[in-house]
A and B are shown apart, each in its own frame.
Chain A
């Protein structure tokens, strides 16, 4: 890519599957660049930098990493001094090592452990406790007692335990941070779809630009072809075709003339129209969507992650155990130092680390695995939610289907007619026409006087003077000898009978396989679409007879999802369009293809980059495996605690044992989570893996 003249520099990031391009000029031809990428075998989609929040520098994450590195360094060095002491260094040497350990441990714990200290303080001030409170308690007490022992010339200190604890906890914290960072609001995506300015036709006939927020009802606007409606409008003058797919999910463009009411966000395809505004922007369709979205996201926020639920249980239990230990030993021995020691060892050895690592490690590994399959995970909790799903709802247009294609039934066998049709279709940019032209062999007929009439169709003249028309049936019927009932655009050569060209949609790659895979997993599927019944029913049939609902507005889709919720079912929503956005946010969990609109991509929990719907069952199976691994991790942590806590309470845990036990339990949890990398299924062969040497991987 760097060799293209219009590109100054490129850099590929294989991990994130991104290519960064610096164009030579600010107004570079992005479409052209995308075409070249696709030609060399790497089709790409444009992303705005605000889409992926991890684009900017992760200040908080880097702070955590720095703290982790310093903690690791400190832990290593203090550990080696501890090993020397445990190995039998004599008293004077031992004291020197203790002092050195203190000099390293105290600043390191303060620097690296500050996250826990600050968080615990915040929680306590707010009158409640969180996971960081016992951790901070353990750290402060361990350090304090160790310092006391050092100054006293005592034999045992806990510096290494405090540092190792800090180190492992920071690892968990960092991984958790990485996962949470990806979650963000879809609001930003939605606002980008709103139109900024529009042309106003003033009463005196002048045309001037007006900001979209300033549009008031009854204002007359001029919408050229290629622009979206800024607000809900009614057409005054002109006729055109509108693409409402984003808004309603209708698969074919809709013709509209004076008097038709159109929602904000619909795209004007063919001809300029003058319209009268019906509502201000804040009450228009997009604004409605934003409000629905906000409500939905709020609901989502109430979902409590597993880790947090575990923490709520863990915190009081551990405090009680430590307190009981202290009191018990004090009564037994009267030696407050020893009692404090043992109580602290209880706090430390229960190792919040394994608990803190159990979930984030598994999620990070799973996210990496998903990324390799071309599935982007945007929120850690989404993995948990996906594993709980028992029902799936699919949007139709753009999700289950891709381009409009032509059905080949009922076409005249006459090659000449086909050629004329192909030629005529090739001269229009209307999506129906391009679909027809795509489905026919390239045309060579010569046509004269080709004109496109917005709202009606395209026409031309044959060499022998006869007119040919393709478009709306009523308009084409004017030159045809006989009418024809049926669906789809009409085509006629002057004097000949009209022919209807029924158009259908093509299923997205992998749709059938995905639906049957989901059903095998016990997930019921259905289609929720805004389109008319005909297309929806056809697709439902093609997919093996799925239940479907048609003609749904965005609010309607949300209502349907809520009814599932009411039945106690948890729904996965798969959708792409603007009209799906509230539904994507309202569902228990959602996934959308990369070809979705900005808002759709932003609202979904998962985005799959490839073309195939096989990503959906793959993500689902991996989410279930992850949930199993998380449960196992918790199990491991609990078993470990059940062994370690009684030992600690009985006073058998020395600093050495605490350090080893902590490390071992954390390593076990990590190792168990790494299993997610192996096995499982892939989205291939629909997905091609990047291989620079050109070899096809086995």
Chain B
């Protein structure tokens, strides 16, 4: 891969990684005794490894072919593999942390393995590690293919990919050390946040530059979704993470906002992160890979554009529905609630559009597990957005707030929509990228699909039950007006559901592991095919969805 770079580029990369290593060294020195110091060593190690890899291949011969005549797929390929790595690790953490709820002794009495510390490793790991890498990798793929132009940079894609993963590593290691801002999905501390801004600005610039040099005048709708994801996340991240470090030698910082004001900012961020990271970004994936795999154009292109603008304008104000029945003023809560309900329209427009695209291709959905992943993802997207709008209504929220139902909602979206569309897209794009005839095993893909679906259903049903049970128990009063159940009573009632939850997650994790194995075996074992330039992605060209006789 390094051999794909010119000498000048390798040198530039060396300088970059050297600089990062120096920063790591500085952090290690300055932050001695503080978790920041440990982070410094991690940064130094990461940058050092990159540095050494570059150094080793510095003298390799330069690429001879005309690079503008081919797409730049190395960052995409590496991004997909990293995404799968994070999937396994972070979902594993999820199973562990869910199991701790049922069996608290799984903490093994250490600080780093306590619930509060490994939980964010799971959330950040799946959202940023698994999801974020998948978005970066697929966005590189989609923007090149739809612009019919090569990525606008040689080093910047790597900077984005590796820099982003450095952020993820610093975040995860930080959590284990106890470093946290206590803001959901925004836990990493100030120096990690600054680093992410640098990486993200590079990502945005790269995207715009690639689009600017496009050879296809029309900007395909998926690019709009990706761009919205990148731009809005940048703004959200900056505003929500405005903080003053206690000192520049330590990880601790104080938020620029406080109290209920801070809560509002946090959930303005939190919900928009869901909207633009977990929804808009993955809709970009859906709008490209689903029509490609189904070999049918989007049912209504006009509708996809309309729902894009609808989502962009409706989502921003939805956040306060996380703060029903808190100190947040009533009218702000109502505002959030109103927009949450209105949001249903563009969301269902997208889900409906995706499903109508499959009209006429249902036989393919039956036979092709990859397309089935995508279809189920679209269905769960519709379900989750309905569930979300429903739960945002204050009356419903009075039952669901703080219960497991919220967790169930998150996971129906995360497992049913986000993860499934990622897996579908990965299976669709891996044979193309590595120029293989087929995936290593279609049987494994089928297994993965059913495990994922089963895991999601088990998990969500468990959480629906436990959430409603909790909610009802918490608001049951005796005749004298006191609470009928103590908190411990509710915990006891939750126990079987916690076990079911861990089990569902374990099923899902197994599926993800199968995916990782399948992809690796595909890369190593499956013979290459002669590229058919006229028909890049096809579910049926030489790839039986389910091999006969198996």
Contacts and interface: CB of A to CB of B under 8 A. Distances in A.
Nearest to A85: B331
A88 B339 contact: no
B331 A89 contact: yes
Nearest to B218: A11
Contacts of A698: 360
B313 A88 contact: no
A316 B116 CA distance: 70
A548 B41 CA distance: 97
B330 A84 contact: no
Given A73-B313, A693-B295, A80 B335 contact: yes
Interface of B is mostly: helix
A663 to B, nearest CB: 11
A88 B335 contact: no
A698 B314 CA distance: 38
Interface in A83-103: 83-85, 87-90, 93
A84 B339 contact: no
Nearest to A80: B317
A638 interface: no
Contacts of A695: 295
Interface residues of A, number: 17
B255 interface: no
A628 B63 CA distance: 67
A84 B264 CA distance: 15
B334 A87 contact: yes
Interface string A1-33: 000000000010000000000000000000000
B338 interface: yes
Interface residues of B, number: 15
Interface string A453-475: 00000000000000000000000
Contact of A84 (B295, B313, B331, B360): B331
A87 B360 contact: no
A11 B218 CA distance: 11
Interface string A667-698: 00000000000000000000000000101011
B335 A87 contact: yes
A1 to B, nearest CB: 15
A80 B339 contact: yes
B531 interface: no
B227 to A, nearest CB: 18
B334 A83 contact: yes
B33 interface: no
Contacts of B313: 72-73, 76
Interface in A475-524: none
B384 to A, nearest CB: 23
Contacts of B332: 84
Contacts of A89: 329, 331
B541 to A, nearest CB: 12
Contact of B331 (A72, A73, A87): A87
Contacts of B317: 80
A584 B329 CA distance: 68
Contacts of A697: 360
B339 A87 contact: no
Interface string A56-92: 0000000000000000110010001001110111100
Nearest to B333: A87
A85 B338 CA distance: 12
A601 B313 CA distance: 44
Contacts of B295: 693, 695
Contacts of B314: 76
A83 B360 contact: no
B146 to A, nearest CB: 16
B330 A83 contact: no
Contacts of A73: 313
B365 to A, nearest CB: 16
Nearest to B217: A11
Contacts of B339: 80, 83
B149 to A, nearest CB: 16
A320 B32 CA distance: 82
B272 to A, nearest CB: 14
A83 B360 CA distance: 43
A674 to B, nearest CB: 11
A83 B338 contact: yes
A697 B360 CA distance: 9
A87 B360 CA distance: 46
Contacts of A84: 331-332, 334-335
Contacts of A87: 330-331, 333-335, 338
Nearest to B313: A76
A333 B149 CA distance: 71
Contacts of A72: 313
Interface in B315-372: 317, 329-335, 338-339, 360
A664 to B, nearest CB: 13
A-B interface, 8 closest residue pairs, ranked by CB to CB distance from nearest: A87-B334, A87-B331, A89-B331, A88-B331, A84-B335, A83-B338, A84-B331, A76-B313
Interface of A: 11, 72-73, 76, 80, 83-85, 87-90, 93, 693, 695, 697-698
Given A80-B317, A88-B331, A93-B331, 11 more contacts: A83-B334, A83-B335, A87-B330, A87-B331, A87-B334, A87-B335, A88-B330, A89-B331, A90-B329, A693-B295, A698-B360
21 contacts: A80-B317, A80-B335, A80-B339, A83-B334, A83-B338, A84-B331, A84-B334, A85-B331, A87-B330, A87-B331, A87-B333, A87-B334, A87-B335, A87-B338, A88-B330, A88-B334, A89-B331, A93-B331, A693-B295, A695-B295, A697-B360
